[in-house]
Amino acid sequence: MKQILCAVAALLSMAAAAEKPRAMFGVVAEEAAALQSGVLVRAVNPESPAYQGGLREGDVLLAFNGQLLSSRAQLRGLLDAAEPGQQVEISFLQNGRQRRVSVKLAARSAMRKRAAASADAAVGGDRVLRPLVVNPAIREAMAKRRREIVRQLRQVSEHFEPSEVSDHLQAIRHLARDANPNGRGWMLGEAGEVTLQFKSEGGVMVLHGASNKLTLSVYDAAGELKYTLPLNTAEERAAVPQEVRERLKRLR
C-alpha cells in the first residue's frame, strides 16, 4: 500500500508540474553561419512580448535576461527557466543598432488563446530551429571575406583601407542572400546596410557599413555599449582608444 501511495503521489506531482504554465517570449529563432554571437530571429508572434518589445524578423537577439547568447540551446534553456509574468531585459541588433528593452513574459496557454483569436498570429510560440544548411562554397567565400576584414581591423591604426572593407561587407551581403534566397537576408538592413559581429575577449564588437561609411560599436563583457567609433578617415582611426586597438589585434 505504501508503494502504491508513493506512486500516486509521484504521478500527482508530475501532473502538477505538467500543468504549470510555461513562460512564452514569442519568437522563432535559429543559428546562422554569419553570426559570431546571438541568434537570428526568423519570425515574431505579433501578439507576443517579443513583438511588443520591438523585436522583428531579421533582428539578432544578443542577450536574454542578462545572459549573452551564444547558441539556440542556451536561449531554449533560459526560456525554460523563466516564469510567466517575469520581467526580463533583452538586447538585440536591429538595422545595425543595438536596442535594449524590458519585456514581461506571457504564459504559454494565454499566448495560444490570443494566437487562436488573431488571424494575423501566424507564429504560435518559441521555436528554435536548426542552423541553416549553407552551400560549403558560399560558406568558405563568406569566411574568406570575413578574414580579410579581420586583417584590416587588426591594423586599424596603420594600413586600414575603408573602401576595401566596405567592398568585403557588400560581398558578404550578396553571399548571404545567395545562401538564403527565400529570406530577408542575415543581419541586412535597408539601403545596403551590413552588420558584422566579432566576439572578442572583452565582449562583442559590431562593424556597421552603410553607404561606404564604417562604424565600429564596442561592447564590454556585460553587453554595455562603450564606444561608437567611425573608421572612415585617418583622423577618426587615430582617435580609436588604445584598449579597442588591443582588442582588435586579438581578433581571429
Q: What is the mean pLDDT of residues 44-57?
A: 88
pLDDT for the residue 29: 82
pLDDT for the residue 17: 44
pLDDT for the residue 206: 83
Residue 229 has pLDDT above 60, yes or no: yes
Q: Note the pLDDT tens digit of each residue in 99-114.
A: 889 999 988 765 554 4
Residue 117 has pLDDT above 70, yes or no: no
Listed residue (202, 225, 201) closest to 215, CA to CA: 225
| Average model confidence (pLDDT) across the chain | 76
Domain extents for the chain?
22-129, 136-249
pTM equals 0.54
Q: What is the mean pLDDT of residues 33-57?
A: 82
pLDDT for the residue 120: 37
Map grid coordinates 500516486 to a residue: 8
* Percent of all residues in the chain with a pLDDT value above 70, rounded to a whole number: 72
Burial class (CB in 10 A: 0-12, 13-18, 19+), 232: middle
pLDDT for the residue 200: 75
Query: How many C-beta atoms lie closer than 10 Å to residue 62's C-beta?
Result: 25
Measured CA to CA, the distance from residue 219 to residue 237 in angstroms comes to 18
Confidence of residue 127 (pLDDT cuts 50, 70, 90): low
Residue 45 has pLDDT above 60, yes or no: yes
Of 62-76, 200-214, 237-251, the range with the highest mean pLDDT is 237-251
CATH number belonging to the domain at 22-129, selected among 3.90.1280.10, 2.30.42.10, 2.40.37.10, 3.30.420.40:
2.30.42.10
Residue 129 has pLDDT above 70, yes or no: no
Least reliable range by pLDDT among 11-15, 46-50, 172-176:
11-15
Q: Note the pLDDT tens digit of each residue in 61-91.
A: 888 988 888 777 888 888 888 899 999 999 8
Q: What is the mean pLDDT of residues 121-145?
A: 64
Alpha helix locations (H) across the chain? 2-19, 49-52, 72-81, 108-117, 136-154, 162-179, 234-238, 242-249
